[in-house]
Amino acid sequence: MQILKYSKSFLLIFLFVSSFSLAASGHPVRAENGMVVTPSDIASVVGSEILKENGNAVDAAVAIGFTIAVTYPAAGNLGGGGFMVIHLADGESTTIDFREKAPMAAYRNMFLNDSGRFVQSKSLTGGLASGVPGTVAGLLYALQKYGSLPLAKVIQPAIDLAKDGFILSYQMAKSFNSYQKIFAKYPSSKKIFHSPEHPFVEGELFVQPDLAKTLEAIKTKGKAGFYEGKIAQMIVAEVNKNGGKFSFQDLKNYKAVERKPVLGNYRGYEIVSMGPPSAGGIALIESLNALEHFNFSPEDWGSSHHIHIVSEVLKHVFADRAKYVGDEDFVNVPKVWLLSKERGEEIFKSIGKRAVPSKLISPGKVKILKESSETTHFSVADAEGNAVSTTVTLNSLYGNKIVVDGAGFLLNNEMDDFSAKPSVPNQFGLTGSEANSIQPGKRMVSSMTPTIVLKDDKPFLVVGSPGGSTIISTVLQTIMNVIDFKMNIQEAITVPRFHHQWLPERIDYEKYGMTKDVKENLIRLGHHIGIKRVLGRVQAIEIDWQNHVFYGASDPRSNGMAEGL
C-alpha cells in the first residue's frame, strides 16, 4: 500500500492538488469501482486505498474511522462513539450501535445543584461530562463480523499518520489555535494541542506519538488493548482526576451492539437508517411518511410553501422525539407507531395553510429532548454492492477538551446528551423527557442519522451529516433534493438548508437560503424566522447501478473530499 507511506512532500502536494481540484469543480466526483467520502482528505485516500487492496466497504470504513481519530481530532475519535449503518451485497442490512454509555456510578440528578437547578458546565466540562467510549469497540466489531481484511492492515495507516505525522491544513491550524485557552487548562491536552509561543501554522507537521502507541496496542491486543490493561488505567485515571466516576469495569464491560435498522419507504425508495438510541432514523422516516402526502416539483424548492410544509412536519417529529425516544435497553420506544404510515398521515392531516404554534403540538397523544453538534460523518460504497454510512462524535468540538495523558486521545462530553432535567434544554436547545434521563449503563439519545437509501434493493444514496439536532433536517432535505427536486448529489448537498426543531419555535436558515419575500410570506403564515447559521456538513454518495457509476460529493461547508476508484 505504497500511498499510505505519507512523506511530508507527498502530503503538501496532495493537499494542494486536492483543494484546488475540489474548489474548481461544482460537479460530483465520478468513478466506476467504488467511492469514499470523508471530512478528511487523507482519510478519503486511506479508504480508497483499502478498497484498491481488495478490502470491502466495511474494511474501508473501519480504516477511515481509525484514521480520522488521527487526522480530524475535533470530532474523529477513539474517546467518543457513534453509529454505523451497513448494507451488504447479499441484500442484508444491519446497524452497529457504539454510542457512549453512562458509567455505573452515574445517577439521575448528577448535574443538578442543591436547589435542583441544572448546572450545564458539569455536563460539558471535566471528567463527569464523559460517557464510556464506544468507537474502538464498534469499529472492531464491524471489522470482525463484516470485514475481509485483518485489523493489522486496516489500522496501520492511522498508526503511521500518528507516528510520522501529517501536514496541518489552514483550517485545522486555525482551529487548534482558537482553543488555546481551554487546552491550557489541562496538562495532558497542553502537551499536544497548546502552543502559545509558536501558534500552529498551515503546512506544519503534526505528530502524535502517544496516540500511535494506543493504536499499536489496539492492533496487537484488539479490544482488550483499549478497554483493559494500560490504556484502560490511563482512561480511568484521567477521567477521575478531573472529577469523573469511571471504573475499570465500565470499560471492560462495554460492548458494541448490533441492532436491526429502522426501515421506511418513500415514493418507492427504501430507507435504511439507525434506530434508538439514535432518534435520527425514526425522525427521518416519520418525516418522509408525512411528506409523501404532498406533491413537490423542482420549481417548489426554496418556496415559502416548501419551507412551511417541511417545517410543520418537523415540529411534530421533534415533539415525538422529545417524548418517546431513549435507549431501548431501558425504555419502551413505540417504534411501530412512530414509523407507521398511519402516524405520517396523522401529521399530514394536522398541517394547514398556517403555522401551528409549537405549544399546541404535543408528541402524538401526550406531551414534550437532547445533543451534539460537532460530530462527523463518512460514507463508503464498493463495486460489489456493499455500502456503509457512519457518524461518530465527541459531542462538542474536541469533546471535553481533555486528552488522556499518555494515550493521546480526547475524551467526549456526551453526558450532556442525556436529559439532566426534563424540559430543560441542553447546549443545542433541545429539551428532553424521562425516556432520556440519566441511568447507570444507559446510552444517551442522539440525532445522528447515518442512512442508506435503496433503489431496486441496491444502494442508491449513502448519506449522513454532523450537526446535532440539525442532522435530521439536513439528511431529510438531502434525500428530498434528490428524489423530489431532481438534483444530483452535489447539488443536493450544496444548496442552502433550513431547520425547525419544535423548540425553540423558529426556522433557522443558511446564507442565501431565504429571499426577503419568502421570509415575509412565512411570517404571514405565522412562522418565526430564526438565525442565519451553517446547517450540517454532508458526505454522500449516489450510485447509478445501470451504468455502474458512483458519484461522490463532499459538502463545501466542510473540508472533506470524495475519492473514487
Cell for 295?
406533491
Residue 490 and residue 553: Cα distance in Å, rounded?
5
Q: What dihedral angle (degrees, nearest 10) is formed by the CA atoms of 550, 554, 556, 561?
A: -110
The SS3 call for residue 32 is coil
* 119: region left, alpha or beta (phi > 0 left; psi from -120 to 50 alpha): beta
38-51 burial, b at 16+ Cβ within 10 Å, e below that, comes to bbbbbbbbbbbbbb
Instruction: Detail the DSSP E strand segments found in 413-501.
Output: 451-455, 458-463, 498-499
Q: Which of 556, 460, 557, 499 has its CA nearest to residue 24?
A: 556
Helix 41-52 crosses helix 151-164 at what angle (to 10 degrees)? 150
Give, rounded to a whole angstrom, the gap between the first and last alpha carbons of the chain: 15
28 to 35, 391, 473, 490: CA distances (angstroms): 11, 21, 22, 5
The β-bridge partners of 132 are 101
Residues 523, 514 contacting (CB under 8 angstroms): no
Q: Longest C-alpha distance within the chain, in Å?
A: 65
Residues 445, 279 contacting (CB under 8 angstroms): yes
Residue 128 and residue 243: Cα distance in Å, rounded?
6
Residues 510, 533 contacting (CB under 8 angstroms): yes
Residues 539, 379 contacting (CB under 8 angstroms): yes
Alpha helices in 198-326 (DSSP H): 209-221, 224-227, 229-241, 248-252, 280-291, 304-324
In terms of C-beta density within 10 A (0-12 exposed, 13-18 middle, 19 or more buried), how is residue 359 classed? exposed
Catalytic center residues:
375
Residues whose CB is less than 8 angstroms from the CB of residue 288 and which lie 6 or more positions away in sequence, other chains included: 264, 266, 271, 344, 476, 479
195 secondary structure, DSSP code: -
Residue 439 and residue 298: Cα distance in Å, rounded?
47
448-462 burial, b at 16+ Cβ within 10 Å, e below that, comes to bbbbbbbbeeebbbb
Cell for 387?
455500502
The SS3 call for residue 109 is coil
Residues 376, 172 contacting (CB under 8 angstroms): no
